[in-house]
């Protein structure tokens, strides 16, 4: 399954606020679809499968993943020791495109992915053009020493000044340089979801 490239506001109306997908807000409050206006009146409830599916979709659309990518992250989280749900979120938060978004280099994870693809970002002084690159502790993420790259990122940082930097990242705005201090805490993840339901969704596979 390819990455979703359709209407983003339609997805946020169905699943709720997805900070990594878009910062725009729809004027419509109802869920998309012909039953969007009647769901509240008919007390139509999702099945247990439907609830788990929606939680999985939140992760998938917020981080811009394909179905196969998300499943591989779930398998890796299961393999590691610890709380599987938290490990899954930490794996996603340690992606290079997600870190660039968290630092304010881009207004969405999709835009951060484009920054990385175009070679604007370096890790430990080497250009990395793979958005899914897994950063490690003490890695140094920096903007490429290029006028175009720096101007682009500085503009985005000014537009994203209201966003706070997560505690597991240390950012030097004068150098446009950040370091990974630790794995993220659950409270540092801006996405509202129950990650345990995502693990349950994949438990039969």
CATH class of 95-182: alpha beta
- What pLDDT does 93 receive? 93
Model pLDDT, residue 148: 92
Report yes or no: 130 and 109 within 8 Å, Cβ to Cβ: no
pLDDT of residue 40: 46
- CA 86, CA 82: separation in Å to the nearest integer? 8
Mean pLDDT of 139-165: 88
Same fold, 8-91+190-201 and 95-182: no
pLDDT above 80 for 135 = yes
pLDDT tier, 136 (very low <50, low <70, confident <90, very high otherwise):
very high
pLDDT tens digits along 71-112: 999 999 999 999 999 999 999 999 999 999 999 999 889 999
User: Mind listing the pLDDT tens digit for each residue in 32-70?
Assistant: 665 555 444 445 677 888 889 999 999 998 898 999 999
Q: How many CB atoms lie within 10 A of CB 150?
A: 14
* C-alpha to C-alpha distances, 6 to 28, 46, 71, 132, 193, nearest whole angstrom: 17, 24, 22, 21, 22
Question: What are the sequence ranges of the domains in the chain?
Answer: 8-91+190-201, 95-182
Q: What is the mean pLDDT of residues 135-157?
A: 93
pLDDT of residue 19: 75
pLDDT of residue 41: 43
Question: At residue 5, what are phi and psi to the nearest 5 degrees?
Answer: -130, 20
DSSP 164: P
pLDDT in the model for residue 32: 64
> pTM higher than 0.75 for the full model?
yes
Residue 70, burial from CB neighbour count under 10 angstroms (0-12, 13-18, 19+):
buried
Lowest mean pLDDT among 8-17, 49-58, 126-135, 153-162: 8-17
Which residue did the predictor score with more confidence, 113 or 22? 113
How far apart are the C-alpha atoms of 127 and 39, rounded to whole Å? 49
Task: Give the torsion sign (CA, 185, 181, 19, 63).
Answer: negative
The domain made up of 8-91+190-201 has a fold known as Ribosomal Protein S4 Delta 41; Chain A, domain 1 (1.10.1050)
In the chain, % of residues over pLDDT 70:
83
Whether the per-residue pLDDT at 24 is higher than 70: the answer is: no
């Amino acid at each position: 399954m390819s990455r979703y490239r359709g209407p983003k506001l339609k997805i946020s109306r169905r699943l709720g606020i997805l900070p990594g997908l878009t910062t725009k807000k729809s004027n419509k409050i109802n869920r998309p679809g012909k039953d969007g206006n009647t769901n509240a009146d008919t007390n139509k409830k999702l099945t247990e499968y439907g609830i788990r599916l929606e939680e999985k979709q939140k992760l998938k659309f917020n981080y811009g993943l394909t179905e196969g990518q998300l499943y591989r992250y779930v398998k890796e989280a299961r393999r590691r020791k610890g709380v599987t749900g938290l490990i899954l979120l930490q794996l996603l938060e340690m992606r290079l495109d997600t870190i660039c978004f968290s630092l304010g280099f881009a207004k969405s994870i999709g835009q951060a992915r484009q920054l990385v693809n175009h070679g604007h970002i370096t890790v430990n002084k080497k250009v990395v053009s793979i958005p899914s690159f897994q950063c490690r502790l003490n890695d140094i993420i920096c903007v490429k020493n290029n006028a175009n790259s720096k101007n682009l990122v500085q503009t985005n940082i000014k537009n994203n000044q209201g966003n706070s930097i997560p505690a597991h990242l240390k950012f030097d705005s004068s150098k446009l340089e950040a370091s990974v201090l630790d794995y993220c805490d659950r409270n540092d993840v801006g996405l509202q979801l129950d990650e345990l339901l995502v693990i349950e969704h994949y438990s039969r596979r």
